[in-house]
A and B are shown apart, each in its own frame.
Chain A
């Protein structure tokens, strides 16, 4: 295993009863890169993130994040990772400020650092005027931004983003992508799952393609496009996942 890898996944497996949601997957994520984790619905992307972030236990195999094992050192791992889940999971009844303060407290950020960091992040993401607003009344894009701020309030070295742009309008999605790029410039490693292949092509240094709980390939978007003789990553994705025939069938049905 290379020493530049920040995440190392070995034979990671999750069964729900007899169903293999994730089946013996292996890959590595290098420090400071944006790693895309792509796959059709139900491929096992969210299950993988849930295992890597300690929300569920693997059935078999394991993974290390910064050399720490997710099976035995998950509390230590959680101190150095940030997670943006598919849903904005902050408290509707609390203000933006109270939500961020609470999350900072959970991560053990000292009062002085907490207030300073909240101020900086709200300013950077243009949310200063919303600090006293209840989370409930924010727009979807703003909620997403606050959720991302909550995930990085403790200055994590790795950030997991699970479908971060789902449901966002064009402008909010652009802002989000800019935020992700900015995180990378700060040296943060980003593990990103997304349905938007174009987004992955724009952002990711490397991508893994997951189908039915198994990894099909891991490579740079450029190499995937080249090796599959495709015009872009979306075409390469369709080729690799075997969705081409399904899409042709759907298009044929549509023409009738």
Chain B
């Protein structure tokens, strides 16, 4: 039973990757947007390029994992194709897990491009490849689950983008992507602590530079696992309620 559910999830993920992810709009959100944002900051402060790598990688995961994820279910519910998945012999958890995995794979691939680019072009060193790649996967899961939650919570694609951006854009400035959280005004710190990107940036930073800004890496891992679990099960709960309406 468990094996069939996992298989079903993977087939859904592969179908989503083929149909939605490797398309120009997602590639531009996943690659172009982080590059443009990073360039803007590099031009202002060329000496801080290496410090920017962890934030840049985390930002690419955030945008790559959520860009399609936040609209896929809304789109499939409108075209009635989501019903096809609901009719399959899979639990709701397995269906949404498949949706999340699609976002995780795409987020991981996009961030890997930035990781390799940072090593080659910026000379960024990293201390532990396995843990670093693991932190990318964990971060991608959090943001893909966030995208899924957005996607099941709204009815229109436009609403999905608005809701996703309501959280995504402030996170760029509050979570240590360009400016370390410790350097932010103190009244902004509580906000940084409740946003998952803060932990993602700090964890990736630790495995690149060997030091962290705000939170110990073990705490980051625990918080990101908690975020993944809560966001995923919240998506399942919201979808259940939506279906019944």
Contact = CB atoms under 8 A, between A and B. Distances in A.
Interface of A: 53-57, 75-76, 78-79, 83, 85, 87, 89-94, 102-103, 105-108, 150
B120 interface: no
B11 interface: yes
Q: Is the interface of B mostly helix, strand, loop or mixed?
A: helix
Contacts of A79: 89
A103 B84 contact: yes
Contacts of A150: 84
Interface residues of B, number: 23
Contact of B7 (A57, A76, A87, A108): A108
B88 A78 contact: yes
Contacts of B91: 75
Interface stretch (B75-83, B111-119, B150-158, B166-174): B75-83
Q: Interface centre among B12, B19, B84, by most A CB within 10 Å?
A: B84
B4 A108 contact: yes
Given A85-B80, A89-B80, A89-B83, A75 B244 contact: no
B87 A53 contact: yes
B83 A57 contact: no
B84 A89 contact: yes
A105 B81 contact: no
A78 B92 CA distance: 13
Contacts of B12: 106
Given A85-B80, A89-B81, A93-B19, A106 B90 contact: yes
Given A106-B88, A108-B4, A91 B11 contact: no
A36 to B, nearest CB: 21
Contacts of A102: 11, 15
